[in-house]
Amino acid sequence: MESTIERTLCHIQLLARHLGQCSLRAGIVVVLMELGIPTKCMGFEFLKKAIELQYNDPTRILSKDIYLEISLHYKQNSEETVEKAIRDVVKKAWWRGSRQAWDWYFSYDEQPAMKRPTNSEFISRIAYVLEIWQECKTIRGDYDERD
């Protein structure tokens, strides 16, 4: 039986093949939409920016650095506004999104994702998945037809 890690890696490689040479921001949007994050909510924009910031510098602290930068960038009142908007869209997607997609990204070993990830778990996991995706793009080069 294939492990969760193997399934996730296969899914990331599939994404890398189909997304070709698209940008990091496009990759973020694809993953968020696949998980069912509602695009019409401001939290979607905040999540895109948070994942991009985390991807570019994994040492940043979510609550101190990233939320503050997003609140300044989008001219929001506070970091709490940003944090709540992100939490709300993740919560909506957790209940409405594809369970299979959530399991690809957030399950451990053979256990399905039983509880909704926190904002920091969500952002860091997706940033890490995108890092692997970028590595797959680099390794595969021009995506020759091997499969």
Tokens at 21, concatenated = 């040479």
Mean pLDDT of 22-49: 89
Domain count along the chain: 1
Residues 125, 117 contacting (CB under 8 angstroms): yes
Domain ranges, residue 86? 4-140
Tokens at 22, concatenated = 């698209």
- 145 assigned to some structural domain: no
The residues, any chain, with a CB within 8 Å of residue 118's CB and separated by 6 or more, are none
- 115 assigned to some structural domain: yes
pLDDT, residue 91, reads 95
Phi, psi (deg, nearest 5) at residue 111: -85, 125
pLDDT, residue 12, reads 66
H or E element, residue 44: helix 42-56
SS3 108: strand
Please name which of 66, 1, 61, 52 lies closest in space to residue 23, comparing C-alpha atoms.
Answer: 52
- 19 assigned to some structural domain: yes
pLDDT, residue 137, reads 65
User: How deeply is 62 buried, as exposed, middle or buried, from its count of CB atoms within 10 A (0-12, 13-18, 19+)?
Assistant: buried
pTM, to two decimals: 0.80
- 79 assigned to some structural domain: yes
Q: Which residue has the higher pLDDT, 6 or 130?
A: 130
Mean pLDDT of 19-48: 86
- 147 assigned to some structural domain: no
pLDDT, residue 142, reads 46
CATH number of the domain that residue 84 is part of: 1.10.10.10
- 48 assigned to some structural domain: yes
- pLDDT, tens only, 40-49: 999 999 999 9
- The per-residue DSSP string of 8-35 comes to HHHHHHHHHHHHTT--HHHHHHHHHHHH
- 112 assigned to some structural domain: yes
- pLDDT, tens only, 42-98: 999 999 999 999 999 988 888 778 999 999 999 877 899 999 999 999 999 999 988
- pLDDT, tens only, 109-147: 566 667 888 999 999 999 988 888 777 766 655 444 433
Question: How many other CB atoms are found less than 10 A from the CB of residue 113?
Answer: 17
Mean pLDDT of 11-22: 64
- 146 assigned to some structural domain: no
